[in-house]
Amino acid sequence: MAKNTKTNPPQGKTMAAESPQSSNLPHIPIALIISMGIICCTYTLRVMDPVLIPKFLGYSIFILGLFIWLVFKGKTQDLSELFAQNALLWTSSAYILLSGIIGIYWASMLGDGLLEWGKWALGALGMWGIVAFYRKKENFRDMLCQTTSIFTLIACLFALSDTSKLLVANNLTHATSYSINSLFGHKNIFSEVLFLMLPFNLYTVFYGKKGFRVIAGISAVLSLIFMIALLSRAIWIALALSTAITGFIYLIHIFNKKENKAEQLKKIGIFMGIGIAIVATSLGLYAALSKGDAIQRQFASITNIHHSANEDRLKKWEQTWQLFEEQPLTGIGLGDWKVEILRFITKNSEVEQGKLFFQRPHNDYLWVLSETGIFAFIAYLSIFVAAIMTIFRLLKRTENVATQNWLYLLLHAVIGYLIFSTFAFPKERIEEIFFLHLIFAAILYENDLIFSVEKEKTSHFFSILTYIGIAMASLCVYVGYERFNGEIELRQFEINNKAGKFDAALKNAENAYRPMLKMDPISTPIRFFSGTLHLQMKKYPAAKEHLEAAHKLSPHHVQVMNNLAGLYFMTNKTEESRKLYEKVLLYAPKYEDALLSLAAISFNAKKTEKAFNYLCKIDTASTNPRYQQYFKSIFATMKQLVLSKITEPQLIAKVNQIFSQKIWYSQIDKRAAQAKRNFAQQTIAEAIMELLRNKEVSAEEAQVWKDKYNIKD
């Protein structure tokens, strides 16, 4: 039986934010400081990605320790009550359950699947555990906002240091601004984290203690400056749209009030004016201090759907939707998007040269949909629906202005996250998942403060969930630990390989490979690295084992296919080699190594024209020594082959002139394909046209030659 009803809050609780501060509260919010310290400040260059895995591992250990402490301190009842009465925890659990069962089952790489699952699981466990840790502490909101303000300022100070280095060197451009990332590894991640921290700072500015107001004010201004100056289009759009949407809802709320409308509108006007002034100043400062016209180009890229970046992104969205259509119920498996997307042909110069691999679709909704299927996707969306519905439910219940404004700030953040998830990939980064769930924790806490119903005893099922949480955190610690150690070996492999220490590099690559880490952070199988080194050392059996394992894991990865084809060529499996090289060109038509290898295979098979066709697809400015070597041999043979077909002195002279001009003959292959001629026919045709254009031959004579050499217009 319930001791209280929701219309009569339990003893010690109020419906407002103006409750007196409890005397038994800790002065230092230890759990918040530790968790934010891990998320904001963990950074090491010992691993491939200096922030993702270190933060994942550190936060996993924190969550495990937090839940063990909660059980030790007898907080199981609080955890159970929170879970039993809040839709945010139900929907998060539904998504974690469905993505875990479905997504991990279908995942081709267990470690990558568990990592993707573990990020969200840790976020949800953190939300649940932190609220339970601070439950019935009526100044939790203040502690949360003030702690966040301090860490925002720390992050911004590191970013100011990054910026000052560029300004001193007079080298602030859009490209160099990527180094302004504070401790978050990437400027866009930093911008998105600042956006999620903003409600905590703004609340402290208006309702915090005097000292913290100053800190929060500086943090809020710097946050807005960096969000604008770092030129993240997703954040610009999210900031504009979420402010417009939340502002519209807030205006409706004000006009429904019977009093203080003018005063409230005046405050809103002042607040918006300050914000617009900061934005304008940020844009002006960036324009004055930077080189180039990056701001204009960013605005143009937002409004122009045919901008190259937008077209690439739209194409990836279309291809991601195709992946979903193939397996709509279960998805392709957590962590498998980066593998499956490689089988789609992409018209992008860097992709076509095998230099660029897409790792995510820049749209979290399509990402979730394609990897985990429709049911998990519905569960994912329901988390945000539950959060927004809870906010509106609380707004209807409370009359306290501070609480209402706090809820609107949280609403602004949730809406903004939903918006920039359409253009970015916050689900991929533990930092953004952490701060999103910190926002959810704030909502959960307010809901518990106003609506909670203490029970004599909760279901035994909810108590068991606490221990399931400990098991989940333990699994995340294991995954994080294994991947952390694996990435240390990968990083050392990279260093030793560049230094030419191939024996040491091979040992690093083999030590890096483990059940929880089969692929590096940029989507290349680890067996590719060890297989390539075995190949260089002419250890062909080991090279075959490792490269074929890499190919099985990522069958459309052009570098893997290329090196495996090279192994087949070196072990006299010429036909298998040729087929695999041709498959490389299907996905990367300008992949130079494959073109050169196919040219060599064709030339050795006495197919000189075909070999020359492959060479003509390579940029004539190539500095690849193989290109120079192959070209010299194949060019001489091809030239002789064409000249051997001609008997007319004028044509012979003109063909020699064509072959003396690299820009000319390098384009003939493309025009031959368009005209459906072979290379020799196209060369002769162009020689005839040039003679005719210069009036060195008559039209009748030119036609005779065309008929002789079977050249049709």
Q: What pLDDT score does 461 carry?
A: 65
Confidence of residue 10 (pLDDT cuts 50, 70, 90): very low
Least-confidence region, from 367-381, 394-408, 536-550 = 394-408
Q: What pLDDT score does 347 carry?
A: 65
Q: What pLDDT score does 12 carry?
A: 35
* Per-residue pLDDT tens over the stretch 175-209: 888 889 998 988 999 999 999 999 999 999 999 88
Confidence of residue 667 (pLDDT cuts 50, 70, 90): confident
On the question of pLDDT at 11 being above 50, the answer is: no
Instruction: Name the one residue in this structure whose structure tokens are 């999620």.
Output: 196
Q: Give me the percent of the chain exceeding a pLDDT of 90.
A: 54
pTM: 0.87
Least-confidence region, from 226-235, 307-316, 606-615, 645-654 = 307-316
Q: What pLDDT score does 1 carry?
A: 34
Segment 706-710 shows an average pLDDT of: 85
Confidence of residue 273 (pLDDT cuts 50, 70, 90): confident
Q: What pLDDT score does 708 carry?
A: 86
Rounded (5°) CA angle 51-54-60: 125
User: Which residues touch 73 (CB under 8 Å, ≥6 apart)?
Assistant: none
Q: Which residue has the higher pLDDT, 594 or 262?
A: 594
585 is written with which tokens? Answer: 């060109």
Segment 149-174 shows an average pLDDT of: 91
Rounded (5°) CA angle 83-425-35: 50
Q: What pLDDT score does 183 carry?
A: 86
656-664 contact pairs (CB < 8 A, 24+) = 658/683, 658/686, 658/687, 658/690, 659/635, 662/620, 663/620
Confidence of residue 270 (pLDDT cuts 50, 70, 90): confident
Confidence of residue 95 (pLDDT cuts 50, 70, 90): very high
Among the listed residues 215, 217, 216, 228, the one whose alpha carbon sits nearest the alpha carbon of residue 177? 228
Segment 362-380 shows an average pLDDT of: 95
Rg (CA), the chain: 31
On the question of pLDDT at 24 being above 60, the answer is: no
Q: Give me the percent of the chain exceeding a pLDDT of 70.
A: 91
* Per-residue pLDDT tens over the stretch 385-407: 999 999 999 999 988 889 999 99
Q: Where on the phi/psi map is residue 4: left (φ > 0), alpha (ψ -120 to 50), or beta?
A: beta
* Per-residue pLDDT tens over the stretch 61-92: 999 999 999 998 888 877 877 877 788 888 99
Confidence of residue 42 (pLDDT cuts 50, 70, 90): very high
Segment 409-435 shows an average pLDDT of: 95
On the question of pLDDT at 104 being above 60, the answer is: yes
Q: What is the mean pLDDT of the chain?
A: 86
Buried b (16+ CB within 10 A) or exposed e, 645-677: ebebeebeebbeebbeeeeebeebbeebeeeeb
On the question of pLDDT at 505 being above 50, the answer is: yes
Q: What pLDDT score does 618 carry?
A: 84
Segment 398-426 shows an average pLDDT of: 94
On the question of pLDDT at 127 being above 90, the answer is: yes
On the question of pLDDT at 14 being above 60, the answer is: no
Least-confidence region, from 465-469, 534-538, 554-558, 581-585 = 465-469
Cβ pair 151, 134 in contact under 8 A = no
Q: What pLDDT score does 462 carry?
A: 67
Q: How far apart are CA 608 and CA 689, in angstroms?
A: 25
Segment 565-571 shows an average pLDDT of: 95
Instruction: Name the one residue in this structure whose structure tokens are 């573990």.
Output: 118
On the question of pLDDT at 6 being above 60, the answer is: no
Give the helix ranges, DSSP H, for 554-648: 558-570, 574-587, 592-604, 608-616, 625-643
Q: What pLDDT score does 587 carry?
A: 86
On the question of pLDDT at 476 being above 90, the answer is: yes
Confidence of residue 170 (pLDDT cuts 50, 70, 90): confident
Q: What pLDDT score does 663 carry?
A: 66
* Per-residue pLDDT tens over the stretch 281-332: 877 877 777 776 777 777 777 777 777 677 888 889 999 999 999 999 999 9
Among the listed residues 317, 373, 361, 331, the one whose alpha carbon sits nearest the alpha carbon of residue 107? 331
